[in-house]
Amino acid sequence: MMAIPANLFRAAILTGYFDVAQSFGLDTYRLTKGVGLHRLDLSDPDVLIPTAAVLELLERSALAAGAEDFGLRMAAKRSLAHLGPIGLVAREEPTLRDALKLFERHFRLHTETLILTIDERGDIGSVGVQLMLATKGSARQTIELIVGIVFRTLKALAGDRWSPEYVSFSHSSPKGRTTHNSFFKSRPYFDDAFNGIALRTDDLNAPITTADPVIARYVRHYLEDAMAQPAVLIDATVRQLVFALLPSGRCTSDLLARHLGIDRRTLSRRLATRGTTFSAIVNSVRLELVQRHIRTESRSLTETAQLLGFSSLATFSRWFLSHFGTNATAWRRMHGQIT
């Protein structure tokens, strides 16, 4: 088992994106296409998508909308429920400190992209957020989205009356009017030393009112089992990467291994322990995608071949015939599509 590589996010990071973008009248298809995400199923929160594409999408969308608080507007649409099982378990922790330690461990085990750090000095504690990758452009919107999610999570656990000591960002302050002050109920600092939230130690000691000791025993036992090993299997990770890389025409085992930070032989060996191979996964993904494209979409067969990573229509046609016993045109006609 393995964590998600540092160059990938789960598509869940984009929760709320389409609602916010459409509220500004943005062309979301053009924007997602511009960063190479339009061919992926972004409605599936577990689909793995390139981190660089997410950062670029949010920055381009903020610029197109003229909204320097685009990431915060996405964060405003998040709730504890969006965190999945970890959010449920956090509600049963006795104090805010215990819940934050739980989140810190969860992030450390399950992602190499985001680092959540908890620090206490005297009567002040802090929750810091770091993106563990080098970026060519700005990561402003992504950082504000994540800090905004942390803020809303703390608010949900500590109660509506809670407020932070302060919120800070390492990037510069926005030039125009934004929702920062109303979102955080205070004026955040910019050009500061860290991205995150400072709070009082007394707040960390405060009990979480939703905690139930009886339920806590069961959910904590569940979480320990689930977190003992990260839930992303190597074959599932490879499958998601194949979905992402096929349309580029460069979906090779060497390239995919580099995405995972390993060599091709190591990748083959790890897949073998799961009873599969790289080529078998590629073929399985193609079989799934080709039926979806041909049955439900009015794409040309040439475009479909390209989306599946084939070098030519002839190569695609031979592959299709070998798996379906007929050509793609006839298969499409039998399934109710017009050629």
Residue 136 has a pLDDT of: 61
What are the angstrom distances between the C-alpha of 19 and each of 146, 185, 223, 224, 257? 17, 23, 32, 35, 35
Average pLDDT over residues 94-122: 79
Residue 115 has a pLDDT of: 79
Amino acid at 331: W
Residue 198 has a pLDDT of: 95
Angle at 233 between CA 227 and CA 235, to 5 degrees: 175
Return the higher-pLDDT residue of 279 and 338.
279
Per residue in 233-286, pLDDT (tens digit) is: 678 778 877 877 787 777 889 888 876 767 889 889 889 888 899 999 999 989
Specify the pTM.
0.67
302 C-beta neighbours (distance < 10 Å), count: 12
Cβ neighbours of residue 212 closer than 8 Å, sequence gap 6 or more: 92
Cα–Cα dist 294/337, whole Å: 8
What are the angstrom distances between the C-alpha of 218 and each of 102, 225, 230? 15, 11, 20
Q: Confidence class of residue 135 from pLDDT cuts 50, 70 and 90?
A: low
The answer to which of 55-64, 238-247, 276-285, 317-326 has the lowest mean pLDDT is 238-247
- The yes-or-no verdict on residue 61 having pLDDT over 70 is yes
